[in-house]
Amino acid sequence: MPKQDPMDRTKGFFKKNLETIPHKKRVDYLNRKLRGIIQYAYKHSVAVKNKLDSVGLKPRDIQTIKDLEKIPITKKADLVELQKENPPFGGFEGVPLNELRRIYVSPGPIHEPGDPEYEEVGWAQALYAGGFRPGDIVINTFSYHMVPFAMEMVDNSLYRIGCVTVPTGVGNTEQQVHVLKNLKVSGFCGTPSFLLNMAEKAEEMGLDLKKDLSLQVAFVAAEMLPESLRLKLEEKFGLILRQSYGTADIGCLGYECMLKNGMHVPDDKIVEIVDPETGKPLPPGKTGEIVATTFNKVYPLIRFGTGDLSLLTETPCPCGRTSPRLVKILGRVDQVTKVRGLFVHPGQANEVALKHSEIEKYQIVVTRKEHKDEMTLRVELKEETLHSEQLKQEIERSIRDVMKVRGEVQFVPKGTIPDGVKKIDDQRTWE
CB of 178 to Zn ion, least distance (A): 36
For Zn ion, the closer of residues 21 and 317 by Cβ is 317
Smallest gap from Cβ 13 to Zn ion, in A, equals 10
In 3D, which of 41, 34, 39, 42 has the Cα closest to residue 65?
34
Contact between 168 and 174 (Cβ < 8 Å) = no
Which C-beta is closer to Zn ion: that of 230 or that of 321?
A: 321
Parallel, antiparallel, or unpaired: how do β-strands 337-339 and 372-381 relate?
unpaired
- In the chain, the amino acid numbered 206 is G
Count Cβ atoms within 10 A of the Cβ of residue 166 and give its class: 0-12 exposed, 13-18 middle, 19 or more buried: middle
Amino acid at site 289: E
Minimum distance of Zn ion from residue 76's CB (angstroms): 29
Indicate the residue among 137 and 259 with the shorter CB distance to Zn ion: 259
CA–CA dist 416, 75 (Å, integer): 37
**By CB under 5 A, residue 240 contacts Zn ion:** no
* Residue 243: Cβ within 10 Å count: 23
Least distance to Zn ion, CB of residue 254, Å: 11
Residue 82 makes contact with Zn ion by CB under 5 A? no
Closest approach, Cβ 259 to Zn ion, in A, equals 5
Cβ 312 to Zn ion shortest distance, Å: 14
End-to-end Cα distance, the chain: 70
Strand partners, 367: 374
Do residues 156 and 167 lie in contact, with contact meaning Cβ atoms separated by under 8 Å?
Answer: no
Beta carbon nearer to Zn ion, 198 or 220: 220
Nearer to Zn ion, 183 or 259 (CB): 259
- How many amino acids of this chain bind Zn ion (CB under 5 A)? 5
Selected binder of Zn ion within 317, 377, 403, 409 (CB under 5 A):
317
Shortest separation between residue 212's beta carbon and Zn ion, angstroms? 33
DSSP letter at 97 equals G
Among 111, 321, 328, 378, binds Zn ion (CB under 5 A): 321
Between 317 and 379, whose beta carbon lies closer to Zn ion? Answer: 317
Could you please report the per-residue DSSP string of 149-179?
IIIIIIIHHHHHHT-EEE---S--HHHHHHH
Residue 242 binds Zn ion (CB under 5 A): no
**To the nearest whole angstrom, how small is the minimum distance from the Cβ of residue 313 to Zn ion?**
11
12 vs 338: CA distance, rounded Å: 43
Judge whether 330 and 306 are in contact, CB under 8 Å: no
Is the Cβ of residue 9 or residue 321 nearer to Zn ion in the bound state?
Answer: 321
Nearer to Zn ion, 125 or 165 (CB): 125
312 binds Zn ion (CB under 5 A): no
Chain positions 245 to 264 lying near Zn ion, rule: CB under 5 A, are: 257, 259
Task: Rule CB under 5 A: choose which of 18, 41, 189, 319 binds Zn ion.
Answer: 319
Sole window of 24-32, 234-242, 283-291, 320-328 interacting with Zn ion (rule: CB under 5 A)? 320-328
Distance CA 233, CA 221 (A): 14
Q: CB of 318: closest distance to Zn ion in angstroms?
A: 7
| E-only strand ranges, 267-391 | 269-274, 288-294, 304-310, 312-313, 325-326, 331-332, 337-339, 342-344, 359-369, 372-381
Helix (H) or strand (E) holding 39: helix 23-44
Please give the residues from 37 up to 76 whose contact with Zn ion meets the rule CB under 5 A. none
What's the closest the beta carbon of residue 414 comes to Zn ion, in angstroms? 43
Closer Cβ to Zn ion, 198 or 221, answer by number: 221
For residue 265, the minimal CB distance to Zn ion (Å) is 11
The per-residue DSSP string of 55-86 comes to TT--GGG--SGGGGGGSPPEEHHHHHHHHHHS
Q: Which is nearer to Zn ion, 319 or 395 (CB)?
A: 319
Buried b (16+ CB within 10 A) or exposed e, 133-164: beebbbbbbbebeebbbbbbbbbbbbebbebe
Residue 220 · residue 191 · CB < 8 Å = yes
Interface residues with Zn ion (CB under 5 A)? 257, 259, 317, 319, 321
